[in-house]
Amino acid sequence: MSFRIAAAPHGHSQQSTSGMMRWVCYALLPGLLVQSYFFGAGVWFQLILAIVTAYLAESLCMMARNRDARSALRDNTALVTAVLLAISIPSLAPWWIIVIGTAFAIIVVKQLYGGMGQNLFNPAMAGYVLLLVSFPVQMTNWLPPATISSHDLSLWQTLHTILFEYTPAGYSVEQLRTNIDGVTMATPLDSVKTALSQSYTLDEIFQRPQFGVLAGVGWQWVNLAFLLGGAILLQRRIISWHIPVGLLAGLLIPAFVAHLLAPSVMPGVLFHALSGATMLGAFFIATDPVSAATSPKGRLVFGLLIGFLIWVIRSWGGYPDAVAFAVLLANLSVPLIDRYTRPTVYGHARGDHNGN
């Protein structure tokens, strides 16, 4: 009989950090492929820029701290941050957008707090919020899905637009967003929020071309693809079910109740589940093990809080999609959540963790 010695806590998974991060990247591939199909190949250029920036920023920070840069890069945490941020921004955003966001995520949010395992906030979402608050125009210029778009950009036209903010023919991103009827297309969440403020009903709004069978054209399939990737992570036990289930419950239960009470102005479950970054947030962003709660019960509460905040901000906040803001607010709440949900220490009364 052989005995294995390992430090506490004695987790059931013996996978390395680098291996788990690789599987996260593999699980993101279905969503990346579907997103590039509907919103163009720009996401791959953004991905390359993000990865290069993340690796350079990580290396410079490690060298400044007299640490081995190669070992830091091998854990693949910087890679996952870069991929998540590249997915989250519009595919034709100017090149400097992704460079600024990724550099901020790695240098300020991750490395200035001590590096891997020390960051208080999700680096990708902190970088996203910085960009959204600082450059709202560039961060909301999503193209209409390819199936209803008036423009079909080649790889060279896409790259030219990212580098110079205009196509070779002189079209701006704003012009590319304009449909053949002269209407500038917006994301489904943005369209609903704007139209509701103009006293339209949901039935009238959902007649517009950017809304499909389940939610928004393109967005519904992107979310389903990320749901597939999330199922892969659950099957591989890279993540546990607590945060995704909590997030979806915290978002969809209030949405269901609100839709029953006010069906003409409050979108239902399917729309919230398959619009914006819902599935990406539930399975890939909120599940960041460093900035999330630690105990199973705490993770469930953490997910519920994020989901409820997403619903509140989408319904009454100033931003159409709310995943990034909800995650960062929940990150701030982690110490309080952990305080009241961590398991009782053996031999002590409930709530007494200091032996007093």
Which of 38-47, 90-99, 182-191, 192-201 is least confident?
182-191
Q: Is the pLDDT of residue 6 over 60?
A: no
Q: Which is nearest to 93 in space by CA: 52, 139, 33?
A: 139
For 87-99, what is each residue's pLDDT tens digit?
Answer: 999 999 999 999 9
Q: Do residues 113 and 119 lie in contact, with contact meaning Cβ atoms separated by under 8 Å?
A: yes
- pLDDT at 52 (0 to 100): 97
Residue type, 283: F
Q: Residue 177: what pLDDT?
A: 79
336 pLDDT above the threshold of 70:
yes
| Residue 289 predicted with pLDDT over 70 | yes
Structure tokens given for 348: 């002590």
Checking if the pLDDT of 37 tops 70, the result is yes
Residue 188: its pLDDT value, please? 87
What pLDDT does residue 180 have?
46
End-to-end Cα distance, the chain = 41
C-alpha distance from residue 6 to each of 16, 33, 240, 308 (Å): 13, 39, 21, 38
Distance from C-alpha of 300 to C-alpha of 245, rounded to nearest angstrom: 7
Residue range 244-280, pLDDT digits in tens: 999 999 999 999 999 999 999 999 999 999 999 999 9
Is pLDDT above 80 for 182? Answer: no
Does pLDDT of 10 surpass 90? no
Q: Which of 4-18, 122-136, 319-333 comes out lowest in average pLDDT?
A: 4-18
Q: By C-alpha distance, which of 112, 60, 122, 54 is closest to 323?
A: 122
pLDDT for res 11: 47
Both tokens assigned to 85: 């941020």
